[in-house]
Structure 1
């Protein structure tokens, strides 16, 4: 595990323990459902997941090599569908929060499809192998962030702070799962926004196929840390999640990312910092 990942994991675990003790107090002190800051990240906080998924799908599409005819065309169709899916998700995530008309979703979806395809196509041929490896990490990470979090949400059944009339009596600590649910207001733990925003960790793999970024690892890590932190804070402010919810969401994405990176990315390709 890289040093930066170890530090982030250690800080996350310590913070998680502290938040377990002060979960309710933090929410009661900073809750503001009308916060412009909170609304901004509610609309845009999850975009890293859909962007990474769309670009990764496009990258796998352009790097698929010709093999047996049916395998080749099956791969092209599959990655093409995923490119459309994540591009649509990128548009829908924003439009649903901003109440934009349907035609804007369709238009922006087409723009995203073209944009991500061209970006993937622009990577020089000699970097296609590291591009494909990074794309595999990005695609699996994007799906994992959604699937794992959604399953845990339904199993945990934790009530959101914003839905509580009497928080002192209705609050339940994260370590006491309630019951299976499909009611969104009882799907607080863990945070999907935090997990999806944490997919932005993937950009630290950009130097593997964009050499000009080889010495920009620290800058990329700072961008990652700031974005994730802002999204996590915003979700607590909005009363959508408790501090432990957002921390667990981030840690799940971090864990998946570290495992995928160790399997698909060479240790010397992005540095060891």
Structure 2
């Protein structure tokens, strides 16, 4: 690692988490040297990561938490992870949405970030099973109304499916499945718990897996928005193979070997903020 003395806490903790996952554990004194920060700063960072449930503190350092395939973190816990990467991904994915199109946004903190970047795209129809995503659009419309401008011309029409609420604030189950089954989308944006060549797209929630399958079947184009930490993670239930995905939008932390595997199965890989070797701009 280079001189990270002036890194924000969020960036520093992301680097620590990457180091823990890559090496299987780290020691406090190693991190103080690499990050060029105090022992106390590193311990505070490890405390924060431990509270988020992504590392386990041990004597003198930390190791990664090995989660069961059925473990599903809550929305708040997930929203604190990889925030910069999710924002980059959202910014890169937004241009894939054309004015006047019908889109679907699944649950997840990355689709939540994307929703904020779609508020100014005119005449959208947005179908979502995410309470949080729906709130992004509804809050913007209420703010416009309270500002005296009323309903903005071209404001999105938002449809929130019914269903049973999950820890990640998604609505799933037969009610959601039935609503999605009768609809047709130009593009669906999927957040995922895990992505791998063998398991494809997966989630720890069986009911959410079925709802996501409905989204995939109802869309002309399937776009996955997932940061690099999702690669190699496998949840209890798979809901789509990589061959069913048209585009993966990820961040620059995705390892080179993983990118090659992904390109073998997907027609398009977008790495936010980078330019690939062939000279085509990855948004």
TM beyond 0.5: no
Give TM-score, length-normalised by structure 2. 0.28
TM-score by length of 1: 0.29
Which one has the bigger strand percentage? 2
